[in-house]
């Protein structure tokens, strides 16, 4: 009996040693990379977290670290300052940065439709968006201003822009006539603050001729040139993660919730579930918008041209980068 | 034993079930009323608890606002230098223990064109008060709610509570007051004064609200976010609406909407936290716009009522048990003597007349029953004793009568055919007494060489006296006939035989009995028949040929033995071979059927004619017996029935000649 246990233990030790050697050997072969996200962990990035949790990046030889964004962390800067090799950002941000000289390479387009909303209370006297002229409208900074400014330009109005904080308290308290919101996030926050859909008047930019694709996966020219395989691997594993997240909602939500708890980000399951479902809508199309939905990962040149034109019009860029210089990943 | 148990069972069951219904009703009504009263009281308590908690919170939060407001006034006066601001903040912290930190934040470039952010901030730290200037590219406070909201709204505002990461991870809320200055005659926002208030006490206060065992309180911000809640992971993660969404609870959502609108109500609902039904009472905190709710589980509120009901129910059950014992033992007391009486009655019925009777000590109906029963038992014993004696005597009598019957039958000739060697005639006779013994008789014997005597008689009355008389009469007639047969050369004379016999019978006949007799002598050689009749039914002659049956024309003479000195004459006729003479007593003609009809002579005559071609006397007699029995159809036989049939066959009959 004793001998038997001894033998088993010996075998276990040997196996464990082998396993460690194998692991070390494999780890040595894995390429380290970091992906910077635009914002804190949430279902907006479910695909990446799921791919990481399911080991999809390891499967393609990448040891990927995900670096969440935040109020003070800008994904593109993480990349240019060398803390990350990959980053997610809006298409408009990507075009703008590329036009301003950042050697960005677009690898994959995840969100094909704009989720940006302009939200008014149903009690608001503003029924026509033109009536917003001169009234306080909460807008976020940077990329979130492109569509509103293009809209206001088109409508020929000049609302009073009130920088919008991370919360919707000002809107809820009546401090602004309209607030910005993402369909998958703030819209649900309002629902979860006691507003019913009938209490709100919601305008989708995607339905106002401003359906600009949003989250895409980017790298730097240098990274792409040095290791195109790595880029392809990260894109493929990320898409695989997204598909899995859509197919396994509860499991994906658990991965997200765990990550958010770990990072001490306040949230609740109802909110993340709503977000994941809306991500699916804006990534794969929900059939409610008449706009064409390109295949997942694919950047449509028409979309690119419209975003670049809006940026030019708003004088946010001086020249439009060539599409082929910008879009480097295709659908591979 | 079924009946006594049934009676006591029914008695007890009906009393007890009625009582049980009353007890249950009392318990149910008590429960209902107590529950109403208790719920009303409990709801008042719940409202009071909610109000008291709100007041306690407000008593701290409401005055806090005065502090940043005072500083804002000072800022608008513009008297404070930068050093004065730092000093002011320090003073506030020293004087107000509940204030954790204070900032005086200016509009970007508002204080100086060269400095974008100017916001002196003093806060408590484990090392004592610390001071820092807020703002920077990574902390653009002008976009922070604490700054932006009062700035945009133009009035003081409480922020949503938050966990301050730098401040010892304590629950905080910030109270912000905007201050203004005049620029080119216009009132413009110059900045915002804030006071950070630690809400640890608030959390402790709300968490410490205990309602019974599992009741609890929680605090919602104006957007429905839970600030405190007993469930792990709920505060600051969930809003009441996200919780309602996750649990698909539309009711909770509408409660939440009322709460954040400043509603104040008491509603009945189910707690998602404990899963219990109960009452939720909520009221707003006016200074902050938050809302406090207290949940009281219904079952625990009702625990008091349940306890009361349990006591009532227990008392009822106890009372019921005592009543049950009393009722059952009482019914036993009543029923038990009855039961023992029934046992005694059965023993008596089975013949044990000495069976002991239960002793009944009470003076009631049962006692009367027992007394009556004892009396009945005594009477029965006496009666049975008498009956036993009477039965014994009757049995002895019956036995004697049976013997008498046997003797009576024994004196009648029963050997048929009586003289097998005499081929001249065929004879058969039968006698069926109505009782054991009867007064009828028949007889036949040879009276000399050629003569054959046959007699039938019927004594007046029935039974033993008639039997005695019949025996005497029969014996006498035979004795007289025997004594006279040698004296008469001219042949026997039935008339004189009857005369002598009647005289003998009449002597000392104190009972005045009499007898009807038909006595006849047949000359076996010639067929001559000499007969005498003492008041007897005339015999029926059935001729051998085709002639009708006819009643023998006998002289109508008195009955024998009634008086002395009666002379009887002798009639004579001759029977042709094949003629049949049928003798009978009135038991045949006066036999009755159930319809009280008599058999009658006519029926007898028809019967005889229908038997014209009969084979022998025996068959004739037996068939007549059967015919009479059939006619009687079960009616009781009232008189002795005697039949005698004689068929004359002639002297030269093949069967033989008894004289030869």
Tell me the ipTM for this assembly.
0.84
Q: At A228, list the tokens.
A: 């195109």
Do residue B149 and residue A193 have CB atoms under 8 angstroms apart? no
Do residue A136 and residue B152 have CB atoms under 8 angstroms apart? yes
Do residue B145 and residue A163 have CB atoms under 8 angstroms apart? no
Do residue A169 and residue B224 have CB atoms under 8 angstroms apart? no
| Residue A230's pLDDT band (cuts 50, 70, 90) | very high
CB nearest B238 (choices: A136, A165, A268) = A268
Chosen CATH of A26-113+213-326 out of 3.40.190.10, 3.40.50.2000, 3.40.50.620, 2.102.10.10: 3.40.190.10
**Partners of residue B241 in chain A, C-beta under 8 Å:** 191-194
Chosen CATH of A116-208 out of 3.40.605.10, 3.40.50.970, 1.10.287.130, 3.40.190.10: 3.40.190.10
What is the 3-class SS of A9-58, one letter each residue? HHHHHHHHHHHHHHHHHHHHHCEEEEEECCCCCCHHHHHHHHHHHCCHHH
Residue of B nearest to A194 (CA): B257
Q: Which of B540, B613, B548, B523 is nearest to B582 (CA)?
A: B540
**Partners of residue A261 in chain B, C-beta under 8 Å:** 233
| Residue B654's pLDDT band (cuts 50, 70, 90) | low
For strand A31-36 and strand A62-67, is the pairing parallel, antiparallel, or unpaired?
parallel
- Can you give the pLDDT at residue A5? 44
Res. B657: pLDDT tops 70: no
Q: What is the architecture, at CATH level 2, of domain B202-298? A: 2-Layer Sandwich (3.30)
Chain A residues within 8 Å of chain B (Cβ atoms): 71-72, 136, 162-170, 172-176, 191-194, 196, 261, 266-271
Do residue B222 and residue A192 have CB atoms under 8 angstroms apart? no
Q: How far apart are CA B226 and CA B237, in angstroms?
A: 7
Alpha helix ranges (H) inside B350-455: 365-411
CB nearest B145 (choices: A169, A196, A268) = A169
Chain B residues within 8 Å of chain A (Cβ atoms): 138-139, 142-145, 148-149, 152-153, 157, 159-160, 222-225, 233, 236-243, 245-246, 253, 256-257, 260-261
Backbone angles phi, psi at A291, to 5 degrees: -70, 145
Q: What is the mean pLDDT of residues B73-102?
A: 90
Q: How far is A253 from chain B (nearest CA, A)?
A: 13
Res. A171: pLDDT tops 50: yes
Contacts of B278 (CB under 8 A, 6+ apart): B215, B268, B269, B270, B271, B295, B296, B297, B298, B299, B300, B301
**Partners of residue B139 in chain A, C-beta under 8 Å:** 72
pLDDT digits (tens, 9 = 90+) for B103-124: 999 999 988 889 899 999 999 8
Angle between helices B82-95 and B66-77 (to 10 degrees): 160
Q: Where are the beta strands (DSSP E) in B139-262?
A: 157-158, 162-164, 170-183, 186-198, 216-220, 226-228
| Residue A103's pLDDT band (cuts 50, 70, 90) | very high
CB nearest A193 (choices: B139, B152, B223) = B223
- Can you give the pLDDT at residue B656? 55
CB nearest A192 (choices: B138, B160, B224) = B224
Mean pLDDT of chain A: 89
CB atoms within 10 A of CB A166: 14
Residue of B nearest to A257 (CA): B237
User: Domains of chain A: which residue ranges?
Assistant: 26-113+213-326, 116-208
pLDDT digits (tens, 9 = 90+) for A1-24: 344 444 445 444 444 444 444 444
DSSP B44-72: HHHHHHHHHHHHHHHHHHHHHTHHHHHHH
Sign of the alpha-carbon torsion through A174, A161, A320, A105:
negative
Q: At B28, list the tokens.
A: 């149910």
pLDDT digits (tens, 9 = 90+) for A286-330: 878 788 899 999 999 999 999 999 999 989 999 999 999 999 875
Res. B562: pLDDT tops 60: yes
pLDDT digits (tens, 9 = 90+) for B480-519: 888 876 665 667 888 888 898 888 888 878 888 889 999 9
**Partners of residue B138 in chain A, C-beta under 8 Å:** 71-72
pLDDT digits (tens, 9 = 90+) for B596-619: 888 988 888 888 888 877 668 888
Strand partners, A231: none
Do residue A194 and residue B241 have CB atoms under 8 angstroms apart? yes
User: Domains of chain B: which residue ranges?
Assistant: 65-198, 202-298, 345-397, 412-648
Contacts of A259 (CB under 8 A, 6+ apart): A41, A49
Q: How far is B291 from chain A (nearest CA, A)?
A: 13
**Partners of residue B145 in chain A, C-beta under 8 Å:** 165-167, 169-170
Q: How far is B246 from chain A (nearest CA, A)?
A: 5
Chosen CATH of B65-198 out of 3.30.450.20, 3.40.50.300, 3.30.420.40, 3.20.80.10: 3.30.450.20
Q: Do B202-298 and B412-648 agree at the fold level?
A: no
| Residue B292's pLDDT band (cuts 50, 70, 90) | very high
Mean pLDDT of chain B: 86
Do residue B242 and residue A268 have CB atoms under 8 angstroms apart? yes
CB nearest B152 (choices: A170, A267, A269) = A170
Please report, rounded to a whole number, the percentage of residues in chain B having pLDDT higher than 70: 96
- Can you give the pLDDT at residue A327? 92
pLDDT digits (tens, 9 = 90+) for B368-411: 888 888 888 888 888 888 999 999 999 998 888 888 888 888 88
DSSP B563-598: STT-----EEEEPPTT-EEEEE-HHHHT-B-TT--B
Q: What separation in angstroms does the CA of A126 have from each of A119, A131, A144? A: 11, 5, 22
Class of domain B412-648: alpha beta
Do residue A170 and residue B157 have CB atoms under 8 angstroms apart? no
Entry pTM: 0.64
Chain A, chain B: beta-carbon pairs less than 8 Å apart: 82
Do residue A174 and residue B153 have CB atoms under 8 angstroms apart? yes
CB atoms within 10 A of CB B94: 10
Please indicate whether residue B255 or residue B310 has the higher confidence score (pLDDT). Answer: B255
Q: What separation in angstroms does the CA of A30 have from each of A63, A235, A239? A: 6, 16, 19
């Amino acid at each position: 009996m004793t001998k038997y246990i001894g033998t088993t233990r010996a075998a276990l030790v040997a196996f464990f040693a082998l396993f460690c050697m194998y692991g070390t050997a494999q780890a040595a072969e894995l390429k380290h990379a970091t992906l910077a996200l635009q914002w804190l962990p949430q279902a907006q990035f479910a695909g990446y977290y799921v791919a990481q949790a399911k080991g999809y990046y390891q499967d393609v030889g990448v040891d990927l670290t995900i670096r969440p964004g935040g109020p003070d962390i800008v994904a593109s800067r993480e990349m240019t300052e060398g803390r990350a090799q990959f980053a997610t950002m809006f298409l408009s941000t990507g075009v703008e940065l590329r036009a301003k000289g950042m050697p960005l390479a677009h690898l994959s387009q995840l969100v094909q439709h704009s989720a940006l909303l302009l939200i008014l209370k149903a009690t608001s006297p503003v029924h026509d968006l033109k009536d917003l002229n001169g009234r306080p409208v909460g807008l976020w900074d940077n990329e979130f201003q492109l569509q509103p400014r293009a809209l206001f330009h088109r409508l020929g109005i000049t609302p009073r822009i009130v920088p919008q904080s991370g919360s919707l308290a000002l809107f809820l308290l009546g401090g602004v006539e309209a607030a910005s919101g993402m369909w998958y996030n703030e819209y649900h926050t309002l629902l979860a603050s006691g507003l019913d859909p009938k209490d709100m008047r919601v305008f989708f930019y995607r339905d106002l001729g401003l359906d600009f694709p949003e989250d895409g996966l980017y790298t730097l020219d240098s990274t792409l040139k040095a290791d195109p395989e790595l880029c392809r691997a990260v894109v493929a594993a990320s898409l695989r993660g997204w598909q899995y997240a859509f197919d396994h909602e509860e499991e994906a939500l658990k991965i997200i919730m765990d990550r958010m708890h770990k990072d001490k980000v306040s949230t609740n399951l109802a909110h993340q579930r709503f977000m994941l479902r809306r991500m699916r809508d804006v990534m794969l199309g929900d059939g409610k918008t008449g706009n064409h939905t390109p295949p997942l990962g694919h950047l449509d040149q028409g979309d690119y041209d419209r975003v670049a034109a809006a940026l030019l019009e708003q004088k946010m860029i001086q020249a439009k980068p060539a599409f082929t210089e910008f879009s480097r990943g295709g659908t591979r | 034993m079924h009946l006594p148990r049934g009676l006591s069972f029914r008695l007890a069951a009906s009393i007890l079930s009625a009582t049980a219904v009353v007890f249950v009703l009392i318990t149910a009504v008590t429960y209902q009323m107590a529950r109403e009263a208790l719920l009303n009281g409990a709801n008042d308590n719940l409202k009071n608890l909610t109000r008291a908690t709100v007041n306690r919170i407000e008593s701290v939060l409401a005055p806090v606002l005065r502090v940043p407001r005072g500083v804002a006034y000072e800022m608008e006066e513009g008297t404070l230098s930068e050093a004065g601001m730092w000093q002011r903040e320090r003073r506030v912290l020293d004087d107000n223990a509940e204030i954790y930190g204070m900032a005086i934040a200016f509009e970007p470039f508002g204080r100086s064109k060269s400095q974008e952010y100017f916001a002196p901030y003093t806060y408590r730290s484990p090392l004592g008060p610390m001071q820092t200037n807020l703002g920077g590219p990574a902390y653009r406070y002008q976009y922070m709610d604490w700054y932006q909201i009062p700035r945009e709204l133009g009035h003081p505002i409480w922020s949503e509570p938050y966990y301050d990461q730098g401040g010892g991870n304590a629950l905080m809320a910030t109270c912000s007051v905007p201050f203004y200055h005049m620029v080119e005659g216009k009132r413009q926002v110059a900045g915002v004064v804030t006071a950070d208030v630690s809400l640890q006490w608030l959390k402790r206060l709300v968490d410490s609200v205990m309602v019974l065992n599992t009741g609890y309180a929680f605090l919602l911000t104006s957007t429905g976010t839970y600030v405190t809640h007993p469930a792990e992971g709920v505060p600051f993660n969930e809003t009441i609406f996200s919780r309602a969404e996750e649990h698909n609870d539309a009711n909770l959502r509408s409660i939440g909407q009322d709460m954040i609108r400043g509603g104040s109500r008491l509603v009945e609902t189910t707690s998602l936290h404990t899963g219990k039904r109960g009452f939720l009472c909520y009221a707003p905190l006016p200074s902050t716009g938050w809302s406090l709710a207290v949940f009281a589980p219904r079952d625990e509120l009702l625990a008091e009522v349940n306890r009361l009901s349990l006591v009532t129910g227990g008392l009822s059950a106890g009372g019921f048990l005592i009543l049950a014992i009393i009722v059952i033992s009482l019914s036993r007391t009543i029923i038990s003597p009855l039961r023992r009486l029934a046992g005694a009655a059965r023993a008596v019925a089975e013949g044990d007349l000495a069976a002991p009777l239960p002793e009944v000590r009470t003076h009631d109906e049962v006692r009367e029953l027992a007394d009556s029963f004892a009396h009945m038992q005594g009477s029965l014993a006496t009666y049975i004793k008498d009956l036993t004696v009477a039965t014994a005597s009757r049995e002895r009598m019956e036995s004697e009568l049976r013997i008498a019957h046997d003797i009576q039958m024994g004196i009648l000739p029963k050997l048929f055919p009586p003289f097998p060697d005499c081929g001249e005639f065929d004879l058969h006779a039968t006698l069926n007494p109505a009782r054991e013994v009867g007064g009828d008789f028949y007889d036949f014997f040879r009276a000399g060489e050629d003569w054959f005597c046959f007699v039938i008689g019927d004594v007046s009355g029935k039974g033993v006296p008639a039997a005695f008389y019949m025996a005497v009469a029969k014996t006498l007639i035979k004795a007289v006939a025997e004594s006279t047969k040698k004296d008469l050369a001219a042949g026997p004379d039935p008339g004189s035989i009857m005369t002598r016999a009647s005289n003998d019978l009449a002597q000392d006949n104190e009972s005045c009995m009499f007898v009807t007799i038909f006595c006849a002598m047949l000359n076996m050689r010639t067929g001559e028949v000499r007969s005498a009749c003492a008041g007897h039914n005339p015999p029926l002659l059935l001729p051998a040929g085709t002639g009708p049956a006819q009643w023998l024309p006998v002289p109508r003479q008195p009955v024998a033995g009634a008086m002395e000195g009666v002379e009887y004459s002798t009639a004579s006729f001759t029977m042709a071979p094949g003629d049949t003479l049928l003798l009978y007593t009135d038991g045949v003609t006066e036999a009755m059927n159930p319809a009280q009809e008599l058999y009658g002579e006519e029926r007898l005559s028809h019967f005889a004619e229908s038997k014209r071609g009969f084979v022998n006397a025996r068959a004739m007699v037996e068939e007549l017996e059967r015919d009479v029995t059939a006619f009687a159809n079960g009616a009781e036989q009232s008189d002795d029935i005697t039949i005698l049939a004689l068929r004359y066959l002639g002297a030269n009959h093949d069967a033989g000649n008894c004289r030869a």
